[in-house]
């Protein structure tokens, strides 16, 4: 009796598991270096993924949902320095994005919606704000070169 019950329970759990099966997947370059790794759910990218440059350094990492990028992502150059980071929604860049210079310092940050600049873009040199721009659906509508004029004309709570 016990072996039959055990087998029935195993088949039931196996049947349930296959419906929600997450499989860890890895791909490699011809050189043997890892190219990408992450979770597949029903054959499509889901959950956390990492991608690598041919030299083995991390190139990007973030989450997928239904084969689309979602949540927060990080991107790196082939030396491991940050290039950009920000949010994805439904596979498109959204919310605030940070962009880095070759020294790994933020040189600008922008508000994006559906992959286009939509809101403010702030420019920095040596971590000091140097100018600001405002965009609407990808088109620049205003630019400021002094923080005092920017502050006078804008509500700083819009920068959150």
pLDDT 10s digits, 58-70 = 999 999 999 999 9
pLDDT 10s digits, 9-54 = 334 344 444 556 899 999 999 999 999 999 999 999 999 999 999 9
- CATH no. of 21-155: 3.90.930.1
* pTM, two decimal places: 0.82
pLDDT 10s digits, 73-113 = 999 999 999 999 999 999 999 999 999 999 999 999 999 99
Q: Would you kindly state where each structural domain of the chain is located, as residue ranges?
A: 21-155
- Is the separation of the CB atoms in 26 and 36 below 8 Å? yes
Which H or E run includes 151?
Answer: helix 147-153
């Amino acid at each position: 009796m016990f072996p039959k019950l055990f087998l029935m329970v195993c088949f039931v759990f196996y049947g349930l598991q296959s419906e929600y099966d997450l499989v860890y997947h890895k791909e490699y370059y011809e050189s043997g270096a890892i190219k990408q790794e992450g979770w597949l759910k029903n054959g499509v990218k889901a959950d956390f993924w990492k991608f690598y440059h041919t030299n083995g350094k991390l190139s990007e990492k973030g989450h997928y949902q239904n084969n689309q990028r979602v949540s927060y992502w990080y991107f790196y150059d082939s030396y491991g320095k940050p290039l950009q980071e920000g949010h994805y929604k439904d596979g498109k860049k959204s919310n605030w994005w940070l962009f880095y210079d070759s020294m790994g310092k933020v040189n600008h940050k922008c508000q994006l919606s559906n992959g286009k600049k939509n809101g403010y873009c702030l420019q920095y040199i040596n971590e000091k704000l140097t100018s600001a721009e405002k965009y609407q659906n990808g088109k620049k509508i205003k630019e400021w070169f002094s923080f005092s004029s920017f502050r006078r004309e804008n509500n700083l709570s819009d920068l959150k």
